[in-house]
Structure 1
Amino acid sequence: MNNQTFIADFLTRNDYNNVIVSERLVAPIVYLVILLLIGVPGNIFVLIIYKNYNKHVYRKIIWTIAVIDLVFCLIGIPFNLGRMFNYYNFNSLRSCQIVAGILDSGIITSSHLLVLLTIHRFQKVCLPLKRQITLKNVPYFIGLCCAIGVALGIPQIAVLQPHAETDLGNNVTGYTCSVAWKDSPQAWKNYNTFLTFLFLSYTLLLFILYIMIGRTVHNQNKKRKLDLHSSRSGRLTIHSHKMTKIAITVSAVFAFTKCSYLPLYLNEWATKGLDEKQLGLFSFSLLKIVQRSYLINHVANPFVYAIFDKRFRQQTVNILTCKTTDKDHDKRPSETESSTQKASTSATAL
């Protein structure tokens, strides 16, 4: 499409909106629909499968993350589709504020839950003899993560989220539910700067903790090859390392998607130095997809579990083929967690 014709021959905002939806937002819309079709059933599978054997701190946190991810898929992705279809026609500032606040609360809550999961794995692997997060106290930590997420999302719901205005030409103004950095109040800039540093800090914390976890796991593997452990101890160690691999992979997805989310918080480059109307079709579509790549964080986790957790794969197949599951077999994780401490203590004593 010729960029010059994009701003000519259309006199109403609806005309501009119809053009950008039909000719420049097709790829981002398809991208969002695919995420919706994958994310909703994937997270439902996680809730069903891990509900049967979530008597384990690790899986209880994973299950809670899946709840947040499912809510995010049911609200966040349709909301983003609505923003796409009404790209220049988003007139309701209040709905923009409310949904943006809910989404920010979900993002921040899942981020804190992931940090909690990482701390749990760090304690289990690197500090097995120290005080641990247990099934008894983990609900309080989960509740604290949710409370922090809600508290930090309130500024969005309150007054900070601005309404972006775009001069479409021909004396027509488009209204977009997006970050309006250039003309936004200082409080909005301070809020987004704070969230930027918060996510960067969490990414750095996860990186440091997993370096320490990885080094400990490496040393344990070397020791396990030299020492004569019982087969029970060996199975527990392998199970613990499998959970660590899952946690590392989920954290890597978090780090990648949150880094790609930073342009939304540092959107000055996109509003001052970049005129979207002058972008070509490919560049514009790619920009809109990258700006929403954070949604992958709420869709990808079921695939991570399927790769590393054989039982999750088996249970998924059972659900899809309508086979009954062995609930007694599903109780093993709770027994494993209670025994891992004993095995770690015995290994340390040796």
Structure 2
Amino acid sequence: MMNTTNSSAFQNVKTLEELNNEKAHQRLPAVVFLSILIVVGITGNIIVLVAYSCKYRPSTFRTFILTLAVVDLSSCLIGMPMELVDNLYPLTFYNEEFCKIGKFLGQILKIGSALIVFLMAVVRYQKICLPTKTYFSNKVARNLCIISMFVAVFLSWPFLILQGTQYKHYDGGVVGHDCSVDSDVKDTIYPFVYTIITFAFYMFVFFGLLILYTLIILNLRRHNELEEQRHKIDSRITKIMIAITVAFVVSYLPDCILDANSTFNKRNTLPPSPAVLGSLPLLARAYFINNVINPIIYFVGDTKFRKIMTKAFVYVIHIIRGKQFPGSNHFELSDTLKTEDHTNTTTKNSSTITNNKFSSADNSEL
């Protein structure tokens, strides 16, 4: 009788492959979510890089947009695929070095994106609220972007120690390999301390953005009629910046809340229902939306970018159909590479050109 009971219990023990497939199936929403973001993000950010590199004159706004696009594209090529593999192999992630390096690079891009969004707000505040103070040149903007990435590396290096293989033990001596907090440090104080530091960092960024853009909006509302045209452009660009900021905050909040909950509330207050098990991995990676949505924001808020995109789409359709694109000689990228740099040309209509710059929704000035 005892042997029969033991045999029955042994038959009920699931293999590691079965457990991994079961957990991966629970995370299917996250897998689909990440797959869509990768395709959309790579396409959108490449378009932004090409459009803003070739169609916009140098400015601090252009510098930040291009840097943000590079970070976002890198996240689509490194961070998202890493998390996709993690969700497909939640218990059979055997390569610990790949786990550490992938999580480390993903954390750099995550923090770097937050810093660049914050820098954009600081420079925007200086331009709108303190126009007579220090001027941020393109070179300064580039240096700030470089420094922000070094700061991101500094804040992310603990991931090389904290992240690794976490062993999951199941019935029948089955041991899973999860790419998560390393088992060697899981029960130490270090993960807790690092979570507190990163949580404080994101709270500083969130509230800093709130204060800066509140001051910017209040200042824009106090403009006089003589500066109305200029303030219309400032307001238009500010709306794009605010949209980027809102997208950043909304996409990062779920992960921050989940991290805070796991840090300060050790008890699992959520029932392990299929809905919870499927949604939590997705919510924990919702911050990747921030790496994908910016091209959509530019398309909606930037008239010039929208015209470029529309023309490019029509151009591609004509190529697919094998037809000649009307006025194709005007669509060469080199045609508009320096169109907004009129410093070396003599113009009897310079005032008209200047006015056209401000009235054509040229958002290349931060």
Give the TM-score taking structure 2 as reference length: 0.80
Structure 2: which amino acid aligns with 1:293? A
2:215 maps to 1:197: no
2:252 maps to 1:252: no
Mapped partners of 1:202, 1:333: distance in 2: 38
Which of 309, 319, 341 is 2:312 aligned to?
319
Alpha-carbon offset, residue 321 of structure 1: 2.6
Structure 2: which amino acid aligns with 1:260? P
What is the match of residue 323 of structure 2? none
Alpha-carbon offset, residue 164 of structure 1: 2.8
Q: Is contact 1:161–1:188 with CA below 8 Å preserved after alignment?
A: no
Q: Is contact 2:162–2:182 with CA below 8 Å preserved after alignment?
A: no
Which of 122, 132, 136 is 2:135 aligned to?
132
Alpha-carbon offset, residue 29 of structure 1: 1.1
Unaligned residue ranges in structure 1 (runs of 5+): 1-7, 341-350
What is the match of residue 144 of structure 1? 147
* Identity over aligned pairs, percent: 25
Mapped partners of 2:115, 2:211: distance in 1: 16
Which of 166, 171, 174 is 2:173 aligned to?
171
Deviations along 1:98-145, whole A, 9 cap, x unmatched?
Answer: 111111111111111111110111011111111121113222211111
Mapped partners of 1:333, 1:200: distance in 2: 44
Mapped partners of 1:174, 1:272: distance in 2: 22
Q: Is contact 2:162–2:181 with CA below 8 Å preserved after alignment?
A: no
Mapped partners of 2:222, 2:30: distance in 1: 45
Mapped partners of 1:13, 1:305: distance in 2: 46
Mapped partners of 1:184, 1:58: distance in 2: 45
2:284 maps to 1:284: no
Give the TM-score taking structure 1 as reference length: 0.83
Residues 270 and 284 (structure 1), Cα distance of their counterparts in 2 relative to 1, 3 Å cut: farther
Unaligned residue ranges in structure 2 (runs of 5+): 1-10, 316-327, 344-352, 359-366
Structure 1: which amino acid aligns with 2:68? I
What is the match of residue 207 of structure 1? 210
Residues 80 and 275 (structure 1), Cα distance of their counterparts in 2 relative to 1, 3 Å cut: farther
Q: How does 1:1-350 map to 2 (within 5 A)?
A: 9-21=12-24, 23-52=25-54, 53-157=56-160, 159-179=161-181, 183-220=186-223, 223-224=224-225, 229=226, 234-263=228-257, 265-266=259-260, 268=262, 272-274=266-268, 279-322=272-315, 324=331, 327=336, 331=340
Task: Count how many residue pairs are aligned between Structure 1 and Structure 2.
Answer: 320
Mapped partners of 1:275, 1:122: distance in 2: 41
Deviations along 1:167-190, whole A, 9 cap, x unmatched?
Answer: 333322222112469934222321
SS state at 1:163 partner: strand
Mapped partners of 2:313, 2:13: distance in 1: 50
Q: Is contact 1:210–1:248 with CA below 8 Å preserved after alignment?
A: yes
Deviations along 1:74-108, whole A, 9 cap, x unmatched?
Answer: 11111111011101111222221111111111111
Mapped partners of 2:208, 2:141: distance in 1: 20
Residues 54 and 66 (structure 1), Cα distance of their counterparts in 2 relative to 1, 3 Å cut: farther
Q: Is contact 1:263–1:291 with CA below 8 Å preserved after alignment?
A: no
Structure 1: which amino acid aligns with 2:35? V
Alpha-carbon offset, residue 252 of structure 1: 1.1
Residues 168 and 275 (structure 1), Cα distance of their counterparts in 2 relative to 1, 3 Å cut: farther
Q: Is contact 1:108–1:149 with CA below 8 Å preserved after alignment?
A: yes
Residues 293 and 196 (structure 1), Cα distance of their counterparts in 2 relative to 1, 3 Å cut: same
What is the match of residue 345 of structure 1? none
Q: Is contact 1:54–1:60 with CA below 8 Å preserved after alignment?
A: no
Deviations along 1:278-312, whole A, 9 cap, x unmatched?
Answer: 62222211111101101111111111111110111
Mapped partners of 1:165, 1:253: distance in 2: 36
Mapped partners of 1:333, 1:263: distance in 2: 50
SS state at 2:336 partner: coil
Does 257-266 or 312-321 show the bigger shift? 257-266
Mapped partners of 1:179, 1:331: distance in 2: 51
